[in-house]
């Protein structure tokens, strides 16, 4: 039996997994930077005169996100794919995520981006339920 081929396949898998992990970490770091920019923009909107309501900030974020998803879906003629397979868990995730988004922007406007974003990891405690 040729074990050298098996070892090479395993080494290739390990290297691919390592690269995959690095890319995942890079994506997470980039997401953190983008969330910080988003939080500061939401706070700046609250400091304008007249201040922009948290509901409007949340709506604008959702509208921009929808556009970012809708344009490629229209381009590839797969708009129906945006609705998923109509699993209740997927739609509940959207419902609860929308509520979390609104309250996140409301807290950023009331206590500032530093305290609000620092408090956000508390969600990990609730995710264990």
What is the predicted pLDDT for the residue at 60? 92
Q: pLDDT higher for 73 or 127?
A: 73
Q: How far apart are CA 104 and CA 102, in angstroms?
A: 5
Give, as one character, the DSSP assignment of residue 51.
P
- pLDDT surpasses 60 at 19: yes
Give the tens place of pLDDT for each residue, 34-68: 988 988 998 998 898 898 998 999 999 899 999 99
What is the predicted pLDDT for the residue at 14? 64
- pLDDT surpasses 70 at 6: no
- Give this prediction's pTM: 0.69
């Amino acid at each position: 039996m040729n074990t050298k081929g098996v070892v090479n396949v395993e080494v290739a898998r390990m290297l691919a997994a390592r690269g995959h992990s690095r890319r995942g970490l890079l994506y997470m770091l980039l997401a953190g930077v983008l969330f910080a920019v988003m939080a500061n923009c939401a706070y700046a909107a609250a400091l304008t005169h007249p201040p922009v309501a948290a509901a409007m900030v949340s709506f604008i974020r959702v509208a921009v996100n929808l556009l970012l998803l809708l344009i490629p879906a229209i381009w590839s003629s797969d708009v129906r794919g945006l609705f998923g397979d109509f699993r209740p868990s997927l739609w509940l995730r959207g419902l609860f995520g929308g509520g979390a988004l609104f309250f996140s922007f409301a807290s950023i406007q009331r206590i500032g981006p530093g305290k609000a974003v620092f408090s956000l990891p508390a969600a990990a405690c609730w995710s264990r339920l």
